[in-house]
Structure 1
Amino acid sequence: MANALVSIQILPRTPNGESVIPYVDRAIDIIKDAGVPYLVGPLETTMEGDLAALLEVVRRMNEEMVRLGAPSVVSQVKIAYNPTDGASMDRLLAKYPRS
């Protein structure tokens, strides 16, 4: 059972002021490769799983931005942690219709 939701907005500073989109796409690929459930939103991506594993994904994302050439990265992270009852994107979104 997942015990956490982690949302991240990753903001790499690009070397020459170029678009951050390729960097963000790579960050989302890292989430995909982690094999955790996730939902991409317009301003952040939310992952579902074990808190320690999700924080490891966040670490890898930040390190990859630097490896790709970003001199620095700001990551805005939100964590919902519920080790007793678990955490679920589906449960939180159940009452909202998908458009």
Structure 2
Amino acid sequence: MTEKDIHLAIQVVPLTRDNDVYDKIDAAINVIRKSGVKYVITPMETVMQGSYNKLKRVSEEAQQALVDAGCGEFLVNIKMHIRIDNDVTMEEKRLDR
């Protein structure tokens, strides 16, 4: 896979009956915050920018954070934008240009 920067959007959905759903989501987001990758948090998902291998690793660590937070079942939706010859950047997708 390319070592150029890609975008990986991740949405985690804890399937739990307790009231700590957002705490579990925040645990996953905190992994992303601490990872050092460029990211944007939106109401429905978090979009990260970096190499494929780095973002794959961060997304796996974010999922482990859910488990560590006591989440026994969850959904993970991942979308990627990959460009083989050039980086994919946050700046090129900004709506306020």
The equivalent residue for 2:35 is: 34
Unpaired stretches in structure 2, ≥5 consecutive residues: none
The CA distance in 2 between the partners of 1:2 and 1:32, in whole Å, is 21
Deviation at 1:86, TM superposition (A): 1.0
The normalised TM-score by structure 2 is 0.88
Cα deviation 1:5-26 (Å, max 9, x = unaligned): 0001101223x43231111111
Moved over 4 A (4+): none
**Structure 2 residue identity aligned to 1:45:** T
1:3–1:51 CA contact under 8 A, matched in 2: yes
Q: Residue 92 of structure 2: SS of its match in structure 1? A: helix
1:10–1:76 CA contact under 8 A, matched in 2: yes
Q: Residue 47 of structure 2: SS of its match in structure 1? A: strand
The equivalent residue for 2:96 is: 97
Deviation at 1:85, TM superposition (A): 1.2
Is 2:26 aligned against 1:25?
yes
2:12–2:77 CA contact under 8 A, matched in 1: yes
The normalised TM-score by structure 1 is 0.87
Question: Sequence identity of aligned pairs in percent?
Answer: 25
